[in-house]
Structure 1
Amino acid sequence: MSSASAHFRPRRDRHGRGHRGPMAWPPVPAMATRAEQFDELVLDAASRMEHQAGAALGSLEFAVEDVPPSDPAPWESSDVPLGRLFAAQGKLPARIVLYRRPVETRTTDARELAALINDVIVEQVAALLGVDPRDLDAGYDPEGN
């Protein structure tokens, strides 16, 4: 036995407890990320809107982006948008984009988040169809009350 290996001791578990827990949590449905939860809320609101508006929506697509682009169009207001409607062009269908971070920062809990997502989708679909948002959703509340 050499002198170098005589002084080497493997680290031992002094109290016999081992590791206190897993190094990483298992991927369980209850641990969905905020982005995944937001996407689910958008899908729920979009399916409700498709059920209410029916065939008038055509092949409308819904998308989620984290933040709006930093260079808005000249005709857009300087406020941070919560969502945006892109009209159909050629073979591209109309698209509604919701911006996750601005929507999340305006809410304090899951109930408010779901309500705001629904209101943004109702506003954008109403703009697409040229109708009042209250005609599409009786629960629409532009004041957020």
Structure 2
Amino acid sequence: MRRRVRAAARPDRHGRHGRLDRSSVVRPPLPAIETRAEKFDLTVTTAVEFLRSAWPELREVRFDIGWMPEAADDDGIPRWDVQSEQKRIILFRLPIERLARLHHNDDLHRRMMIESCVFRAAAEYLDRDPWDLGPDRFRF
């Protein structure tokens, strides 16, 4: 009569099928995906912070981000709405992003286009030329 020898139990360091150093099934958590809306908000916020630090008249102005204007005007679809009485500027994200004619479609040019809209809206509020708002910002 033969005796069967039982195999020894595998140590804990082995993964399934006896392989060493198996990776876990679930990946490590990935960073949150940055959406276009989040990038737009960040670009507007940084431009507004710069303008408020340079122009005290803008410190009490509320900058809001809207999706779309309610209606088109004689010039087409507006990119922003300046409400001087309420001390409010509304920037419309979809027209700014979708109707832009960028000569290079990359993050840098999109950011510059969004910043230019913020500057032009603030200049309209202050009744000044946009280039007067940050002359040192554009000098090299």
Contact preservation (8 Å) 1:103, 1:113: no
1:111 to 86, 108, 113: 108
Contact preservation (8 Å) 1:84, 1:96: yes
1:41 to 29, 40, 43: 43
Q: Distance in 1 between matches of 2:82 and 2:30?
A: 34
Contact preservation (8 Å) 2:67, 2:92: yes
Structure 2 segments unaligned to the other structure (5+ residues): 1-24
Say how many residue pairs are matched.
Answer: 111
For the aligned residue pairs, the C-alpha RMSD in angstroms reads: 2.7
Are 2:31 and 1:28 equivalent residues in the alignment?
Answer: yes
Residues 4-44 of structure 1 deviation map (CA, whole Å, 9 limit, x = unaligned): xxxxxxxxxxxxxxxx878xxx5724x12211111111101
1:121 to 106, 113, 118: 118
User: 1:55-134 residue pairs with structure 2 within 5 A?
Assistant: 55-69=56-70, 71-72=71-72, 76-89=73-86, 94-105=87-98, 106=100, 107=102, 108-134=105-131
1:103 is matched by which residue type in structure 2?
Answer: I
Q: Distance in 1 between matches of 2:44 and 2:92?
A: 11
TM-score (norm 1): 0.64
Q: Distance in 2 between matches of 1:122 and 1:114?
A: 12
Which 4+ residue blocks in structure 1 deviate beyond 4 angstroms? none
Structure 1 segments unaligned to the other structure (5+ residues): 1-19, 141-145
Aligned residue for 1:104, secondary structure, equals helix
TM-score (norm 2): 0.66
Question: Identical aligned pairs, as a percentage?
Answer: 26
Bigger radius of gyration among the two = 2
